[in-house]
Amino acid sequence: MAVSYKKLFKILIDRDMKKKEFREYVGISYSTLSKLEKGENTNVDVLERICLKMDCRIEDIMEILPDQPPSLPPAEQDKN
């Protein structure tokens, strides 16, 4: 499963907050911000800090994206 933080970056846009301002306000490192931008895993403590500082819930800043279902073999696709 993949993680997306697009919701977080939409909040930043809605609040007219630059990424640098966000990073300093929340107290996260540049490398942590980079992980968020790339949709990489980050520590739950960081996510908690973001939610507390930004006054939002975890589901407001991230979502879990399901893996793509495996494609059916050609013989199975013909049956559908």
pLDDT tens digits along 23-63:
999 999 999 999 999 999 999 999 999 999 999 999 999 99
In degrees and rounded to multiples of 5, residue 70 shows phi and psi of -65, 140
pLDDT tens digits along 6-22:
999 999 999 999 999 99
- The closest alpha carbon to 37, from 68, 61, 69, 71, belongs to 61
Distance in angstroms (rounded) separating the CA atoms of residues 68 and 79: 20
Domains detected in the chain: 2-65 (1.10.260.40)
- Quote the DSSP letter at residue 37: H
Q: Are 32 and 42 in contact (CB under 8 A)?
A: yes
Q: Are 27 and 49 in contact (CB under 8 A)?
A: yes
